[in-house]
Structure 1
């Protein structure tokens, strides 16, 4: 299968390309400014994804069997600061990809987010009513509606949680940001009252490849790790995994202590049964996710010098 992949140099995109290659697929990856090697891609195409005219020409030339959209402006502050620019990638891009998928009769995998929910429910089902609390979440929900309206019969939308993994730059994922902070001598306050259901990026990528191969699984689905944890517990377990003193590096905090964070979602936990019951890939325990994490390059000198 030929797969056209956007966001090919991102945390999720790189994992997807490698997983698809292992399954024997030919992945054409669209990249931006990244210059390094990208394992898993059969072809690399450099393109500004906001240029939808050039994007359309490229996709029509490639004529893929599937289109996988891993591109997003996922930093909420960036979306709040410049919603017009972020909408080009978060809304207009998936809308164009859905139109092209329908035109080519191609499978379309669109990545959405846990953030479309407000965090007030104990558990979110695939038909739970969304209530996006910020601009990023509103854009992701709008993208879901657009792709469903345009190409429902070709589209699988996958809502993903906080992703764990090893990024190309060593600065993108949770453990990488924590280790960078700790290497600079800054203990990290983490919330004891904010729960997430983290997922290893390779596990999410494996589920996405299966969706490409399963024309019967269309609609909105949830994917995440096996269980939910507080941000505080995640930080503690990451520190211990790397042999670091968690009690010194991870500081217990609560969302309500700082007005800046009072509106953050308290609990984002998915019901995974509708998809997990149909895939060979299964949700992972957090301990298994930790086993895949490595010390990122930016902090290796500091880490190797520790007593």
Structure 2
């Protein structure tokens, strides 16, 4: 039986992964690390309330368990907040990875770490795992630094880069693009959405499955995980309206320049998924197919 620690187990991916692994309790012993109370709605795994930025405490708790795998889903992901609070961003996004890597060297644990399309500048799109990163925001830089901690280490690691994760779990602390668009259109509120940024959104269930596949295959290195078709954020919003049969006329296109966001965003990301197809034997679908699958799970 594999012992798995999931950091950020209260988050969207954290809860989805807890749910997935607990379907095979004979195979995985799951430990959730997160702040505050357990928000997963489940009591059938060991939950540890912890501030993972406390290095000594994190080390103590991990060494008690001696996990086979640590899946690090915890991160500061609000791009503008990272730009405004660089120290806090580095502490969670880089410092924690350094601590986990040091511990993993000691106990021979395999780290599965989540990264982002924001490590790229967005000039070309359809990025391969081997393309040269060039982050244009502090969030992107912090995630690149966290990748470098792992790539420069001697431990077994898997880095899963992902884009614009959406889905639903038991207790949502923050929204995501699908819920935001759906809610606004249901309330018949006009929304402005950029038509000059391009992304491949990721269904959280697919991302959780990719973490599990990485463990089961002991796959090491960097992999891209997202849906398989590049769309403008405006097109993404339109597809959400179509799937949920909501009025598209409330969606108004705008350009990035009008938003005055604190941190710059890459214009065009998206991934080449051929390595993921070949090595993980995982074949992501289109955003629309994922949306239809997601819709079935809603009450």
Query: Fold-level match, TM-score > 0.5?
Result: yes
Q: How far has the Cα of 1:35 moved from its partner? A: 4.5
SS of residue in 2 equivalent to 1:221? strand
Q: How far has the Cα of 1:37 moved from its partner? A: 3.9
- 1:244-294 deviation digits (Å, cap 9, x = unpaired): 1112x2111122344548942111011111122122432122122112435
Instruction: Indicate if the aligned counterparts of 1:14 and 1:39 stay in contact, CA closer than 8 A.
Output: no
SS of residue in 2 equivalent to 1:45? strand
Q: Find 1:228's aligned residue among 230, 241, 252.
A: 230
Provide the residue aligned with 2:64 in structure 1.
61
1:48-87 alignment runs, 5 A limit: 48-87=51-90
Q: How far has the Cα of 1:181 moved from its partner? A: 3.3
Q: How far has the Cα of 1:170 moved from its partner? A: 7.0
Instruction: Indicate if the aligned counterparts of 2:5 and 2:71 stay in contact, CA closer than 8 A.
Output: yes
Distance between the aligned counterparts of 2:101 and 2:93, measured in 1?
A: 13
- Structure 1, 40-49 or 159-168: larger mean CA deviation: 40-49
Q: Find 1:110's aligned residue among 87, 109, 113.
A: 113
- Structure 1, 44-53 or 263-272: larger mean CA deviation: 263-272
Structure 2: segments with no counterpart, 5+ residues: none
SS of residue in 1 equivalent to 2:237? helix
1:170-189 alignment runs, 5 A limit: 171-182=174-185, 185-189=188-192
Structure 1: segments with no counterpart, 5+ residues: 301-307
Q: Find 1:243's aligned residue among 239, 242, 245.
A: 245
1:132-281 alignment runs, 5 A limit: 132-151=135-154, 153-167=155-169, 168-169=171-172, 171-182=174-185, 185-215=188-218, 217-247=219-249, 249-260=250-261, 263-281=264-282
The two structures have a TM-score, normalised by structure 1, of 0.89
The two structures have a TM-score, normalised by structure 2, of 0.91
Distance between the aligned counterparts of 2:55 and 2:208, measured in 1?
A: 25
Instruction: Indicate if the aligned counterparts of 2:184 and 2:190 stay in contact, CA closer than 8 A.
Output: yes
- 1:37-95 deviation digits (Å, cap 9, x = unpaired): 44486111100111111110000001111110000000011111211112111000011
